Amino acid sequence: MQHLESVGIAHLANVSAGDLSCGHRRALEIATTLALDPEVTVLARGRILAQGDYASVACNEDVIEAYLGVATSEATQHSTTRTVLDISDLKAWHGPSQALYDIALTVRTGDLVTLFGRNGAGKTTTLRSIVGQVAETFDNATLLADFERISARLSA
């Protein structure tokens, strides 16, 4: 059960794997791998940051700093910065399969945002949904953006 909790699907413990969405099946695959207690190696810029079991690597300060950055007082004070992208309740589908569930994202001037996750986690679908390249998207999403600036960067 702890591995299902660590990938966020403990609430689906009694659901048959065949009845899970694609994303939840991938999470189940990761939980199954974690149950085997594998050694995890995290690389960044060609060097090993951490090695060990999942729990020790997940809380390793070098890994957290490399993948999440270090919060500074300037980066954490958003009260005076302009919101350039605000999304809530973003959902998207690939045919009959729901790919994104209730994504929320706020980006302010000066923010650096990174989407990371395993293959199939929805990183590309999220970005394509934001720029309108996924036909079946949103469903009560709030999207406020400086599209002129975004479009200029995309076409450059």
Q: Are 108 and 81 in contact (CB under 8 A)?
A: yes
State the DSSP code for 62.
H
CB 45 within 8 A of CB 27: no
Per domain, the residue ranges of the chain are: 2-71, 74-155
* Position 47 confidence tier, pLDDT thresholds 50, 70, 90: confident
Does pTM top 0.85 for this prediction? no
pLDDT tens, position by position, 110-132: 777 778 777 888 888 888 888 77
Q: Which residues contact 42 (CB under 8 A, 6 or more apart)?
A: 48, 49, 50, 51, 57, 60, 63, 66
pLDDT band at 71 (very low <50, low <70, confident <90, very high): very low
Please choose, from the candidates 84, 82, 92, the residue with its C-alpha nearest in 3D space to the C-alpha of residue 141: 92
What would the pLDDT profile of 8-44 be if each residue is shown by its tens digit?
A: 899 999 999 889 888 898 889 888 888 887 788 887 7
